[in-house]
Amino acid sequence: MATMNARSMMSRSIWTALLALLILIAATTVSSFSPQPSSIVRPATTTTTTTRLSALPKPKPYDPTYKSKPPTFNKQTSLWEPSPETEPQPYGPWGSFLRGGPTPFVLRLLQSDSYDQAVFKYMAQTSCSRSEAQGNMDAFFNNAADWAYQKGEEARGRPMVDYSELKPKQAVLVVTWAVLVTPFLGRCAYLIAATDKGWSITLDDIFNF
């Protein structure tokens, strides 16, 4: 009996450590869904970074050669409207998922009008292309604080980031978490919370559907 209790306690400790490690890894890698320039190092002091678009310095377009007429604001409807020269969406929700992770993806599925309004407003503020605006809004909705910090650094002359670019490493990371890690964590949580096995679950329990 004592041996069984010892094994149960050991198994519980192992699973607790494993889940804690996976959660820690998830917390530290989620922000990497949006590309960050390696040349920028945050100061050691703690500062409060605003995440309101209207409160930031006016961002500069990554591509200054873009000259199409930007969207305009309709005061009667209080909505941003695309101009006749505004191009179609360069990519859909899955493109946002691969660039910015799950948050912009879900937003485009559930609140597509709000997403488009943010894109049109950014296009009007910066005179940039729709592709560049979508990339920036994907990064903003994924991690507003990091995005705002990057824009502040760009206003000070730091290198600019092309958020519309889809980097293979970034896409692989997103897909890996979506297909492998998240279901694994969900399966573990379900077995621990909804079955009589509790923290004594094994790998056989996890993969025995």
Mean pLDDT value of segment 164-172? 74
Token duo for residue 186:
């969900």
Please answer whether residues 199 and 192 qualify as being in contact, where contact means their C-beta atoms are separated by less than 8 angstroms: yes
Residue pLDDT, tens place only, 57-68? 678 888 889 999
Residue pLDDT, tens place only, 31-41? 333 344 433 44
Q: Which of 52-56, 93-97, 187-191 has the lowest mean pLDDT?
A: 52-56
Q: Give the predicted TM-score (pTM) of the model.
A: 0.63
Residue 154 backbone phi and psi in degrees, to 5: -65, -35
